[in-house]
């Protein structure tokens, strides 16, 4: 049987960045302070991914459920994302980062949606790290959209394969995550990449996202390297 164990460095790491609110509460600060500190951790994670040879990094920055948060917090998060994009794009581009956005970007308004699209175009040729930002993203919506596309295209049911279906998801062209990290001790997938995480290794870190740094990223990769991945097959 072929050796199907994976390379010890994950090609694609996906992160559910959780714990910004608790980080702020523990310091008697408003939630926005936690999100601001979380944005700094985003920069550290990108640097850690680049320096460790990870090729795809997907960050869950805003879920489709996050719209249910108080309007003020939604506005703070939208502002932070806009600010982050404006202040970091030049450096990301120089570092060879390609930006891709999945999710309903248009819900953030035409200005941010257009800026995100311009950033995707500007960085399209970069290939050091593909940074996938999940914004207003929901895994179930992704699957339903793909099903709609299959029906609209009139694909006969018996011809619809997993491979064809995957090409209709928002992550078309992006390999499935090898490793999912969720910070803050919560142990849920929370409607993230439901289809794409089918065989990912799951790592739940107790560290709150604003505290997550290069050492935590490195420790996660070390843990991953010890995992035996079988993709449903049994060893012979």
Which residues contribute to the site for ligand FPP (CB under 6 A)? 17-22, 35, 38-39, 42, 61, 66, 77, 80-81, 84, 184, 209
Q: Annotate 178-210 with DSSP letters as a single string.
A: SEEEE-TT----TTSSTTTTTT-EEEE--S-GG
Q: In the complex, what is the shortest distance from the CB of residue 81 to ligand FPP, in angstroms, rounded to a whole number? A: 5
Provide φ and ψ at 131, rounded to 5°.
-100, 115
Q: Structure tokens of 104?
A: 């309903």
Q: In the complex, what is the shortest distance from the CB of residue 224 to ligand FPP, in angstroms, rounded to a whole number? A: 22
Instruction: Return the residue nearest ligand FPP (CB atom).
Output: 21
What is the rounded CA–CA span in Å between residue 115 and residue 109? 10
Q: Compute the C-alpha angle 188/77/136, nearest 5°.
A: 55
18 part of the active site? yes
Options 66, 126, 145, 191, the catalytic residue = 66
In the complex with ligand FPP, the residue whose CB is nearer, 37 or 168, is 37
In the complex with ligand FPP, the residue whose CB is nearer, 1 or 68, is 68
Q: In the complex, what is the shortest distance from the CB of residue 85 to ligand FPP, in angstroms, rounded to a whole number? A: 8
211 part of the active site? no
Q: In the complex, what is the shortest distance from the CB of residue 61 to ligand FPP, in angstroms, rounded to a whole number? A: 4
Q: Annotate 100-120 with DSSP letters as a single string.
A: EEES-GGGG-HHHHHHHHHHH
In the complex with ligand FPP, the residue whose CB is nearer, 56 or 209, is 209
Options 18, 76, 178, 216, the catalytic residue = 18
Residue pair 123/92 in contact by the 8 Å Cβ criterion? yes
């Amino acid at each position: 049987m072929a050796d199907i164990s994976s390379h010890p460095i994950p090609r694609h790491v996906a992160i559910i960045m959780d714990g910004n609110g608790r980080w702020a509460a523990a310091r008697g600060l408003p939630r926005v302070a936690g999100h601001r500190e979380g944005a700094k951790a985003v920069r550290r994670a990108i640097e850690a991914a680049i320096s460790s040879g990870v090729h795809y990094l997907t960050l869950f920055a805003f879920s489709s459920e996050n719209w249910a948060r108080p309007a003020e917090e939604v506005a703070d998060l939208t502002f932070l994302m806009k600010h982050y994009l404006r202040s970091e794009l030049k450096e990301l581009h120089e570092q060879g980062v390609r930006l891709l956005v999945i999710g309903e970007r248009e819900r953030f308004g035409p200005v941010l949606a257009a800026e995100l699209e311009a950033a995707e175009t500007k960085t399209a040729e970069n290939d050091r790290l593909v940074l996938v930002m999940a914004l207003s993203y929901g895994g179930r919506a992704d699957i339903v959209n793909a099903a709609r596309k299959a029906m609209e295209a009139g694909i006969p049911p018996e011809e619809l394969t997993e491979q064809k279906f995957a090409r209709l998801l928002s992550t078309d062209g992006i390999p499935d995550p090898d490793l999912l990290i969720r910070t803050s001790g919560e142990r849920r997938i929370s409607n993230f990449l439901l289809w794409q995480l089918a065989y990912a290794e799951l790592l739940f870190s107790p560290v709150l996202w604003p505290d997550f740094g290069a050492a935590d990223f490195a420790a996660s990769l070390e843990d991953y390297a010890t995992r035996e991945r079988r993709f449903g097959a049994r060893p012979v």
